[in-house]
Amino acid sequence: MTQITIPRPDDWHLHLRDGEMLKAVAPQTAQHFARAIIMPNLVPPVVTGAQASAYRDRILAALPEGSTFEPLMVLYLTEDTDPKDVAAAHASGLVKAVKLYPAGATTNSNSGVRNFDNVRPVLEKMAEIGLPLCVHGEVTTHEVDIFDREATFIDTVLDPLRKATPGLRVVMEHITTKEGVDYVSAQGSDMGGTITTHHLIINRNHILVGGIKPHYYCLPVAKREIHRRALVEAATSGNPHFFLGTDSAPHTDDAKESPCGCAGCFTATNTMQLLAHVFDAEGKLNALTKFASENGPKFYGLPVNTNSLTLTKKSETATWPSKIASAAGPVTVFDPGFPVYWHIEN
């Protein structure tokens, strides 16, 4: 097959930031995607319905003229989050999920959750109203090796939390391990898992062999090849538990190429071309529709987009800018390290 047309894809995990960075990166996602779940880890975080509404307005203002891109807003769960505010923001249609960051797990997660008992009332309200919880699935315990933090989180936090809150819809985000794939697959339809573009492409050798590659560093960090293979098999299986969440996370080059570089891969620009390559290489191009366009809306109870995106495989390589300019500085676009022949037609 050299051409595929899919319903317009959505991104179920995206960082758009704010200010000058937002203006630079929002058009990149809006080029190819109809909707995206917008991460709330700004400084200060997007905690209340009022903050989400104001942030949504800033996103819409940053879109190109005539864009129909729809930001799906998310509240940042803190130990002070008010269940009534969450319920009102959901009832108004503004908010589509709540995000759980274990405190200290990643970029701007300091306002996240330390004591899970303190967020029980919010989780119970969310289970009652059917509002999904998006989870950054890593423990932050110093003694736990960074490569084991996802698997440990499943056993010690995620599974107990789900058992204590029956009916809560949960997305385990950016899964990076076979354990993550196995856990999510074994659950019912109240559990989903997002997979990023970069975790389908790189393993930990790509980050560390032959010199340290700061633009491949993200959290959760890429794991061994057996885990990458498990992710590729899950994404290309068509299994409704799994859908695309790019975790495209822009940082300026000076923040990435630093003695203490930030975590995040910026893939908004070339995700769809890269996914077509990965699915084609597996002989599973037809499963791209489910992964990028159907399974996510189904989990969130939203309609599949009615417009489409066409990708064509050509003899010449696909190109994209290597960096996106922003007034805050350049942002490097994820480089898969191999030539890609899939081009976007519309």
Q: Is 154 in the site for ligand DOR (CB under 6 A)?
A: no
User: Binder to ligand DOR among 86, 219, 244, 274 (CB under 6 A)?
Assistant: 219
Q: From the CB of 202, what's the least distance to Zn ion, in Å?
A: 16
Q: From the CB of 306, what's the least distance to Zn ion, in Å?
A: 28
User: Binder to ligand DOR among 88, 103, 255, 263 (CB under 6 A)?
Assistant: 263
Strand, coil or helix: 221: coil
Q: Would strands 3-7 and 242-244 be described as parallel, antiparallel, or unpaired? A: unpaired
Q: Is 343 in the site for ligand DOR (CB under 6 A)?
A: no
Q: Is 264 in the site for ligand DOR (CB under 6 A)?
A: yes
What is the pattern of x (binds ligand DOR, CB under 6 A) and - over residues 87-126?
Answer: -------------------xx-------------------
| Structure-derived torsion over alpha carbons of residues 141, 145, 150, 156, reported in degrees to the nearest 10 | -50
Token pair of 171 as six digits: 């997305």
Q: Is 15 in the site for ligand DOR (CB under 6 A)?
A: yes
Token pair of 337 as six digits: 């390290």
User: Binder to Zn ion among 11, 85, 150, 247 (CB under 5 A)?
Assistant: 247
Q: Is 200 in the site for ligand DOR (CB under 6 A)?
A: no
Select from 188, 220, 196 the least CA-distant residue to 207.
Answer: 220
295 binds, among Zn ion, ligand DOR, none (CB under 5 to 8 A by kind): none
Strand, coil or helix: 73: strand
For Zn ion, which stretch binds (CB under 5 A), given 71-79, 185-193, 198-206, 245-253?
Answer: 245-253
Helix 225-235 to helix 271-281 angle (10° resolution) is 90
What are the residues facing 134 on neighbouring strands?
99, 171
**Residues recorded for the chain:** 346
Could you list the active site residues? 247
Q: Is 218 in the site for ligand DOR (CB under 6 A)?
A: yes
Select from 66, 248, 218 the least CA-distant residue to 146.
Answer: 218
Q: Are 101 and 109 in contact (CB under 8 A)?
A: yes
Q: What does the binding site for ligand DOR look like in residue numbers (CB under 6 A)?
A: 15, 41, 106-107, 136, 218-219, 247, 249, 263-264
Q: What does the binding site for Zn ion look like in residue numbers (CB under 5 A)?
A: 247
